[in-house]
């Protein structure tokens, strides 16, 4: 994975870009949950699932289909008042999908571990993006306060936080000008 902070930050940025209006707290909380959810596959370790299996790390839970299922389920379960298949409903689905799928995409930009099974369960082939500037983050907290943790922090700051913040500021300014 990339670090949890960065996964969360990307999800919140998507939310802000897609919904300029005020959103309820549960929307933001769920965006973060969605973006961290794919790493539940580490639980498989304890049940003897091997890394390269369909349910192994960076397997099905990092796929696009998983992201879509999560997005629809979350929207239906947590926003029942939003009329199904309305514009607002689709926006929510797209936003939760983007949050969940962004996890695999960030992972595919890291320089270590297995590739991502984007098309699981149809194909277990593992992919990386052609461009992998992120230092892979250690799982667990201990490794985080090390030289390794520092490299993770710097690479994510440069390649994710900085461009994302610039994008948010630009969009904010455009919106402000339009409404002003």
Q: Which residue is nearest to Zn ion (CB)?
A: 1
Cα–Cα distance measured from residue 127 to residue 21, given in angstroms and rounded to the nearest whole number = 36
Residue in this structure with the two tokens 């008042």, named with its chain if needed: 81
Cα–Cα distance measured from residue 168 to residue 162, given in angstroms and rounded to the nearest whole number = 10
Whether the link from the prior residue into 7 is cis, omega within 30° of 0, is: no
**In whole angstroms, how close is the CB of 106 to Zn ion at the nearest point?**
8
Nearer to Zn ion, 112 or 121 (CB): 112
Nearer to Zn ion, 92 or 102 (CB): 102
Nearer to Zn ion, 23 or 113 (CB): 113
Cα–Cα distance measured from residue 7 to residue 104, given in angstroms and rounded to the nearest whole number = 10
**In whole angstroms, how close is the CB of 179 to Zn ion at the nearest point?**
38
Cα–Cα distance measured from residue 168 to residue 180, given in angstroms and rounded to the nearest whole number = 18
Cα–Cα distance measured from residue 91 to residue 41, given in angstroms and rounded to the nearest whole number = 27
**In whole angstroms, how close is the CB of 58 to Zn ion at the nearest point?**
6
**In whole angstroms, how close is the CB of 156 to Zn ion at the nearest point?**
14
Instruction: Please give the residue ranges that form the binding site for Zn ion (CB under 5 A).
Output: 1, 39, 107
Contact 74, 96 (CB under 8 A): yes
Nearer to Zn ion, 107 or 156 (CB): 107
């Amino acid at each position: 994975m990339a670090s949890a902070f960065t996964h969360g930050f990307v999800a919140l940025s998507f939310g802000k870009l897609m919904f300029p209006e005020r959103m309820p707290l549960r929307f933001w909380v769920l965006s973060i949950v969605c973006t961290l959810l794919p790493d539940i596959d580490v639980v498989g370790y304890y049940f003897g699932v091997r890394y390269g299996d369909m349910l192994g790390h960076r397997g099905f839970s990092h796929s696009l289909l998983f992201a879509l299922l999560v997005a629809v389920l979350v929207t239906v379960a947590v926003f029942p008042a939003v009329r199904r298949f309305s514009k607002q409903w689709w926006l929510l689905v797209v936003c939760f999908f983007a949050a969940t799928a962004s996890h695999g995409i960030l992972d595919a930009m890291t320089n270590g571990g297995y590739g991502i099974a984007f098309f699981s369960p149809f194909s277990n082939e593992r992919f990386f993006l052609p461009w992998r500037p992120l230092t892979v983050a250690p799982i667990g907290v201990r490794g985080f306060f090390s030289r390794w943790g520092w490299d993770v922090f710097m690479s994510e700051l440069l390649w994710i936080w900085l461009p994302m913040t610039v994008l948010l500021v630009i969009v904010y300014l455009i919106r402000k000008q339009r409404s002003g």
